[in-house]
Chain A
Amino acid sequence: DIQLTQSPPSLPTFLGDTVTITCRASQSINTYLNWYQQKPGEAPKLLIYLTSNMQSGVPSRFSGSGSGTEFTLTIRGLQPEDFATYFCQQSYSSPYTFGQGTSLEIK
């Protein structure tokens, strides 16, 4: 199975900050990497698919980049509703796997 390692596990940050979350794959996954946001008590919500494509309705302050084994999710100008946990997921090969998550916390 392809392992995905996210860093950091948690990220204390201020409103208005720009943050970058990294997801590293145990082997090359081309650009088959998706990002999700999860708030407490809710199901994950798709943010970005195929590395850099924004899901409909997702604010433009979210962006994704990368290829091969290293990927990033960037959030510019953090808003109160952005404090949540973010997961990456690879779809290069089955079984589909997820990263362990990065929790954004208010500093």
Chain B
Amino acid sequence: QVHLQQWGAGLLKPSETLSLTCAVSGGTISGHYWNWIRQSPDKGLEWIGEIDRSGSTQYNPSLQSRVTMSVDTSKTQFSLKMVSMTAADTAVYYCARGRVFGAVLPRTWFDPWGQGALVTVSS
């Protein structure tokens, strides 16, 4: 059974960079797309982007200019960096497994999810 464990800094100052990592255990990282999703009271659940085993990415256009995702297949980990953080980026950030590698885009649902990481941006 696949399990996702995530970690990263939880308190940032405005303009700093968010860095989160998600480790995949119980399965291979090569067989799926891997996603980041965030949740805040104001915006609800917001998909940030996905990455595949080769490092090919797709980002939410609303965040694309600030987001970079990467994957380390040897460590079965993938990561999120988001620059120029502001208070509006305060949220719980989740990693999640998405569609099977090679599957068409609409066959995308998220399961399982990581435990979530509260990221607060405050001066």
Residues in A lying within 8 Å of B, measured CB to CB: 30, 32, 34, 36, 42-46, 49-50, 55, 87, 89, 91-101
By beta carbon, the residue of chain A nearest B99 is: A91
Q: State whether B109 touches A43 (Cβ < 8 A).
A: no
**Which stretch from B13-21, B68-76, B77-85, B113-121 is at the chain A interface?**
B113-121
Q: State whether A44 touches B106 (Cβ < 8 A).
A: no
Taking A43-B115, A94-B58, A95-B62 as contacts, is the C-beta distance between A34 and B109 under 8 angstroms? yes
By the criterion of a CB under 8 Å from any partner CB, how many residues of chain B are at the interface? Answer: 22
Cβ-defined partner of B44 (8 Å) among A43, A92, A96, A98: A98
- In the complex, what residues of A have CB within 8 A of residue B105's CB? 91, 93-94
Q: State whether A43 touches B113 (Cβ < 8 A).
A: yes
Task: Give Cα distance in the complex from A98 to B37, angstroms.
Answer: 10
Task: Give Cα distance in the complex from A11 to B26, angstroms.
Answer: 37
- In the complex, what residues of B have CB within 8 A of residue A30's CB? 106
Q: State whether A44 touches B110 (Cβ < 8 A).
A: yes
B2 at interface, CB cutoff 8 A: no
* A23 CB to nearest B CB, Å: 13
25 pairs across A/B with beta carbons < 8 Å?
A32-B106, A34-B109, A36-B110, A43-B94, A43-B96, A43-B112, A43-B113, A46-B109, A46-B110, A46-B112, A50-B107, A55-B111, A87-B45, A91-B105, A91-B106, A91-B107, A93-B105, A95-B60, A96-B47, A96-B108, A98-B44, A98-B46, A98-B47, A100-B44, A101-B45
